[in-house]
């Protein structure tokens, strides 16, 4: 009997097929990041709902859910707006008394 030497085919690196994280593209699904949702995002969602409704995107049976969600979003944004404006206003520094 003769022994045959079997050569294994080179194994492709599994990580070569995966998408590499791109810090310049936050939409890249391979980018590991903490979930973040800002007030600006919520305002954009409100606008999206408004535009979608005006274009007839939703069926009549869906309008109750969409309207309730829109109203809750609007109430939240109105409640957050004053707090956000106060946080943006920095108090003026007091002047030191002149001697």
Distance CA 16, CA 10 (A): 14
Distance CA 64, CA 60 (A): 8
Predicted TM-score (pTM) of the model is 0.52
Residue 19 has, within 13 A of its CA and on its CB side, a CA count of: 10
**Confidence bin at 63 (pLDDT 50/70/90):** very high
Q: Are 42 and 66 in contact (CB under 8 A)?
A: no
Q: Are 42 and 77 in contact (CB under 8 A)?
A: yes
Looking at every residue in the chain, the average pLDDT score rounds to 76
- Please tell me the predicted confidence (pLDDT) of residue 17: 57
Q: Residue 87 above 90 pLDDT?
A: no
Residue 97 backbone phi and psi in degrees, to 5: -65, 140
Section 42-70 average pLDDT? 94
- Please tell me the predicted confidence (pLDDT) of residue 86: 78
Section 55-66 average pLDDT? 93
């Amino acid at each position: 009997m003769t022994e045959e030497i079997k050569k294994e085919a080179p194994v492709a690196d599994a990580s070569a097929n995966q998408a590499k994280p791109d810090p310049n593209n936050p939409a890249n699904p391979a980018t590991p990041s903490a979930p973040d949702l800002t007030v600006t995002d919520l305002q954009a969602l409100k606008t999206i709902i408004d535009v979608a409704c005006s274009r007839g995107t939703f069926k009549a049976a869906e309008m109750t859910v969409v309207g309730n969600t829109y109203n809750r979003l609007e109430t939240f944004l109105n409640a957050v707006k004053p707090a956000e404006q106060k946080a943006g206003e920095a108090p003026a520094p007091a002047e030191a008394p002149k001697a």
